[in-house]
């Protein structure tokens, strides 16, 4: 199954591999459009070992499977390796992995020789429903997440849910944090669907999982099409992420766990500035726990604020913060840092 989506900056092909493709070359679908000799696959050391037979016959570069890989040192190292492979402007970079890999490959492809073609094969649920979609590519600068980056759409995203068969349970939870985010900001029916199911259900029902992924892809694409450069409605996708980005790097948490905590904090703020019913916060906490995501974390409000103040969405002494009016309806509020610091202090006092 294949469909294409046209963004202001270009077209992206979405390729969905059939279930019976399990165990076969997931990259074969690319051979009709791309020259294998010009392909360079970039993946992490965990996947390179786990799926070693799949990478045979392909030029492959490997990075460490850790958030710390998302820095300029990795970009420099990969650039030098591409030069050694004599990779030119006709090269196609293929990022195979989760959000760390797709962020790095998208950023690298945007700047190597002033831009080469690239595509993604996301191998985590988080990558499939969020990280690989939308054209945002970035690396961290110290504790400041994605401070350096580009908005550059991939040529394609190849979906093969068979990769999820080896996904650890913690990574399923991380992915569902982003699915729950979509439900909170856009889709109350999706929120109810998630409330009536659990991770085990989606792991064992291929059709339900694929439908869930496609729904998330559609929500994100619909948003990015109208606001690719994130000047308006695309900011809604940052629900839970503003605090999460500070907490994630400061406390070395998986992205999904940090987002879960960030959504709880965002709901606390929403109660004060957007009139969110407390019962909605209770429902969100219950849903997060249902998908094995945390709702509490010991944090230092001052240290968290120090990192948060360097967020790229900052405007003087305010920052655009995504809050909920109710489940399924998110809005943007320009909030003073004092409001956020008070919320972090209140959150910390209960954890």
Q: What is the tally of structural domains in the chain? A: 2
| pLDDT higher than threshold 80 for residue 118 | yes
Residue 302 lies in a domain: yes
> Is residue 109 within 8 Å of 152, Cβ to Cβ?
yes
| pLDDT higher than threshold 80 for residue 5 | yes
| pLDDT higher than threshold 80 for residue 245 | yes
3: its two tokens:
């469909």
What pLDDT score was predicted for residue 1?
Answer: 74
Confidence at 315, pLDDT banded by 50, 70, 90: confident
Last-in-domain residue among 110, 145, 166: 166
| pLDDT higher than threshold 80 for residue 90 | yes
Residue 171 lies in a domain: no
Catalytically annotated residue among 234, 235, 285, 313: 234
**For the whole model, what pTM was predicted?**
0.95
Confidence at 314, pLDDT banded by 50, 70, 90: confident
Catalytically annotated residue among 255, 257, 285, 313: 255
Residue 110 lies in a domain: yes
What pLDDT score was predicted for residue 33?
Answer: 86
156 lies in the same domain as 193: no
Residue 209 lies in a domain: yes
Last-in-domain residue among 121, 144, 166: 166
265: its two tokens:
């904090």
Catalytically annotated residue among 230, 248, 249, 285: 230
Q: Report the range of poorest mean pLDDT among 2-11, 183-192, 266-275.
A: 2-11
Last-in-domain residue among 166, 185, 212: 166
The H-assigned helical ranges of 154-254 are 169-185, 188-195, 199-204, 206-226, 241-250
Residue 334 lies in a domain: yes
Catalytically annotated residue among 70, 136, 215, 235: 136
What pLDDT score was predicted for residue 18?
Answer: 81
224 lies in the same domain as 86: no
276 lies in the same domain as 242: yes
Q: Is 80 a catalytic residue?
A: no
235 lies in the same domain as 94: no
Catalytically annotated residue among 146, 162, 174, 238: 238
Q: Report the range of poorest mean pLDDT among 25-39, 62-76, 134-148, 250-264.
A: 25-39
Give the CATH number of the domain where residue 219 resides: 1.20.1090.10
> Is residue 58 within 8 Å of 41, Cβ to Cβ?
yes
User: How far apart are the C-alpha atoms of 103 and 94, rounded to whole Å?
Assistant: 12
pLDDT digits (tens, 9 = 90+) for 132-148: 999 999 999 988 888 99
Q: Is 220 a catalytic residue?
A: yes
Q: Is 67 a catalytic residue?
A: no
316 lies in the same domain as 248: yes
pLDDT digits (tens, 9 = 90+) for 329-351: 999 999 999 999 999 999 999 88
Q: Which residues have a Cβ under 8 Å from the Cβ of 284 and sit 6 or more positions away?
A: 180, 184, 263, 264, 267, 327
Confidence at 73, pLDDT banded by 50, 70, 90: very high
Confidence at 17, pLDDT banded by 50, 70, 90: confident
Q: Is 20 a catalytic residue?
A: no
Q: Is 255 a catalytic residue?
A: yes
Residue 7 lies in a domain: yes
Across all residues in the chain, what is the average pLDDT? 94
| Strand (E) or helix (H) holding 301 | helix 301-308
Confidence at 42, pLDDT banded by 50, 70, 90: very high
- Structural domain that includes position 275: 177-349
Catalytically annotated residue among 145, 220, 257, 313: 220
153 lies in the same domain as 55: yes
Q: Is 90 a catalytic residue?
A: no
Catalytically annotated residue among 56, 80, 114, 315: 114
296 lies in the same domain as 219: yes
Q: Is 238 a catalytic residue?
A: yes
Residue 74 lies in a domain: yes
CA-to-CA separations, 344 to 36, 142, 278, 320, 330, in angstroms, rounded: 50, 22, 17, 16, 20
Confidence at 28, pLDDT banded by 50, 70, 90: confident
Catalytically annotated residue among 245, 257, 285, 313: 245
155 lies in the same domain as 194: no
What pLDDT score was predicted for residue 22?
Answer: 59
Give the CATH number of the domain where residue 69 resides: 3.40.50.1970
Q: 39-44 and 59-63 as β-strands: parallel, antiparallel, unpaired? A: parallel
147 lies in the same domain as 281: no
Q: Is 136 a catalytic residue?
A: yes
Counting DSSP H helices and E strands in the chain, the numbers are: 14, 12
Q: Is 252 a catalytic residue?
A: no
| Strand (E) or helix (H) holding 145 | strand 144-151
Residue 269 lies in a domain: yes
181 lies in the same domain as 161: no
Confidence at 23, pLDDT banded by 50, 70, 90: low
88 lies in the same domain as 10: yes
User: How far apart are the C-alpha atoms of 176 and 179, rounded to whole Å?
Assistant: 5
Q: Is 46 a catalytic residue?
A: no
| Residues 12-20, mean pLDDT to the nearest whole number | 87
204 lies in the same domain as 333: yes
CA-to-CA separations, 20 to 24, 73, 76, 328, 351, in angstroms, rounded: 9, 39, 39, 35, 47
Burial 239-254 (b: 16+ CB within 10 A, else e): bbbbbbbbbbbbbebb
């Amino acid at each position: 199954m294949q469909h294409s989506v046209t963004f202001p900056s270009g077209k992206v092909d979405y390729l969905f591999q059939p279930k019976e493709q399990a165990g076969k070359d997931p990259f074969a679908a690319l051979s009709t459009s791309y020259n294998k000799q010009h392909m360079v696959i970039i993946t992490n050391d965990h996947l390179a070992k786990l799926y070693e037979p799949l990478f045979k016959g392909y030029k492959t570069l490997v990075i460490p499977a850790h958030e710390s890989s998302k820095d300029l040192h990795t970009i420099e190292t990969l650039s030098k390796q591409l030069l050694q492979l004599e990779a030119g402007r006709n090269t196609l970079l293929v990022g195979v992995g989760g959000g760390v890999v797709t962020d790095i490959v998208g950023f690298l492809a945007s700047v190597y020789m002033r831009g080469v073609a690239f595509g993604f094969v996301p191998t985590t649920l988080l990558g499939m429903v969020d990280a690989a979609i939308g054209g945002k590519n970035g690396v961290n600068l110290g504790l400041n997440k994605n401070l350096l980056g580009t908005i550059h759409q991939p040529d394609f995203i190849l979906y093969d849910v068979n990769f999820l068969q080896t996904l650890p349970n913690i990574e399923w939870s991380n992915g569902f944090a982003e699915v729950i985010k979509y439900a909170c900001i856009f889709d109350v029916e999706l929120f109810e669907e998630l409330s009536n199911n659990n991770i085990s259900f989606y792991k064992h029902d291929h059709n339900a999982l694929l439908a869930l992924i496609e729904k998330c892809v559609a929500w994100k694409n619909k948003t990015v099409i109208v606001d690719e450069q994130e000047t308006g409605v695309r900011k809604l996708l940052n629900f839970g992420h503003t605090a999460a980005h500070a907490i994630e790097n400061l406390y070395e948490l998986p992205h999904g766990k940090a987002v879960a905590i960030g959504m709880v904090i965002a709901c606390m703020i929403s109660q004060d500035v957007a009139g969110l019913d407390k019962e909605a916060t209770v429902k969100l906490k219950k849903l997060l726990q249902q998908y094995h995501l945390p709702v509490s974390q010991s944090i230092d409000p001052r240290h968290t604020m120090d990192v948060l103040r360097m967020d790229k969405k900052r405007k003087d002494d305010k920052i655009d913060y995504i809050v909920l009016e109710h489940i399924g309806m998110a809005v943007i509020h320009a909030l003073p840092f004092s409001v956020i610091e008070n919320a972090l202090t209140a959150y910390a006092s209960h954890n």
